Every structure is written in C-alpha cells, then in structure tokens.
C-alpha cells in the first residue's frame, strides 16, 4: 500500500483529549503534561471544534504576560519551576513584576479561548494521508483535528504521519 492509499482514518488517534474555551491555561497545561501531548482541540458547548491550543500558544501568552521572550522549551522550564513549588499556592516573590508571579497570574486567569488558534484546519477521515501531510507542511501545523460533519472523530499528528512513513 502506498502513502497515497492510506487515509487519515487509518492513522488518526480516536481517543482525543479536548478542552473548552472557558478553561484556564493552568487547566490546559495540566492536560498537556498529564497526557504527554503538545496540543488540544478546543470544543464549544455543542462539541464543535472552534480552535486548537498548543504549547506554542501558551508560551506566547506567557511571553506577553511576563514581557519576555519564551519558547516552548522555556515553557517547560517555567512548568518545572512552578511544579517544584506546588506545595505553595502562590509564588514566593512579592514583586508584582516578577516573571514567575506574572506567569502564575496568567496561568490562573487567561482562558484557553483567549489565546487558542481560531478556525483550525480540519480534515475529513477519508482524506488521503498524502494530502493531509501536505496541508500540515504548508500550514506549519503539528496536528489536524479530524471532523466528520461537525463532530470530532479523531486527531492526526505529525508523529502519526512520520510513523506511517517509517521515519
């Protein structure tokens, strides 16, 4: 079977972790960390995909809050630092401009819907893997929610595509 014969449905993950737009960044980062994933489809009350939130979106929001550049790797540093202080419900610094205090406020107050990537690129389960992979490359996305009608039925990740091609 060639890559052109493989469909999205054959490779997608069917059990998709999702989040709603009213959840906080703390909720989102907790889900990402617990499930070892880097992004989540965002579903509205009707279970329709309205966005995607990724580590990159969270790093951008924290960068804005702390007024300093932060990459997804830097996000990991912040997460590890805040996790080591988990016994404390508040940052130790008294300074209102302290980046950790600002990050903590951002984690707790910013909603997923405020920073998610809106109008995400979605694919049909019957689409060929080749077409979906080309879309991912051209749009520079790491995951594609798989939608049938208005219903989320799976997610195709860059890892799924690479695994199919034995890279």
**Structural domain spans, the chain:** 3-164
Give the pLDDT score at 61. Answer: 84
Architecture of domain 3-164: Roll (3.10)
pTM: 0.79
Give the pLDDT score at 96. Answer: 54
The model's pLDDT over 86-96, given as tens digits with 9 standing for 90+, comes to 544 444 445 55
The model's pLDDT over 19-72, given as tens digits with 9 standing for 90+, comes to 999 999 999 999 999 999 999 999 999 999 999 999 989 888 877 776 655 555
Please choose, from the candidates 126, 153, 124, the residue with its C-alpha nearest in 3D space to the C-alpha of residue 5. 126
Query: For residue 21, what are the CA distances in angstroms to 13, 66, 74, 157?
Result: 22, 22, 24, 21
Q: What is the mean pLDDT of residues 122-134?
A: 96
Give the pLDDT score at 107. Answer: 83
- What percent of the chain shows pLDDT beyond 70? 75
């Amino acid at each position: 079977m060639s890559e052109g014969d493989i469909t999205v449905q054959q490779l997608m993950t069917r059990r998709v972790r999702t989040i709603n737009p009213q959840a906080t960044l703390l909720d989102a980062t907790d889900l990402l960390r617990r499930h070892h994933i880097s992004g989540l489809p965002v579903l509205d009350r009707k279970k329709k995909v309205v966005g995607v939130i990724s580590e990159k979106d969270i790093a951008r929001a924290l960068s804005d809050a702390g007024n300093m550049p932060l990459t997804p790797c830097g996000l990991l540093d912040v997460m590890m630092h805040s996790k080591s202080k988990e016994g404390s419900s508040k940052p130790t610094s008294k300074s209102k401009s302290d980046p950790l205090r600002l990050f903590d406020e951002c984690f707790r107050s910013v909603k997923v819907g405020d920073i998610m990537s809106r109008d995400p690129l979605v694919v049909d389960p019957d689409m060929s893997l080749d077409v979906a992979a080309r879309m991912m490359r051209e749009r520079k996305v790491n995951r594609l929610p798989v939608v049938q009608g208005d219903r989320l039925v799976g997610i195709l990740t860059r890892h799924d595509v690479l695994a199919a091609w034995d890279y």
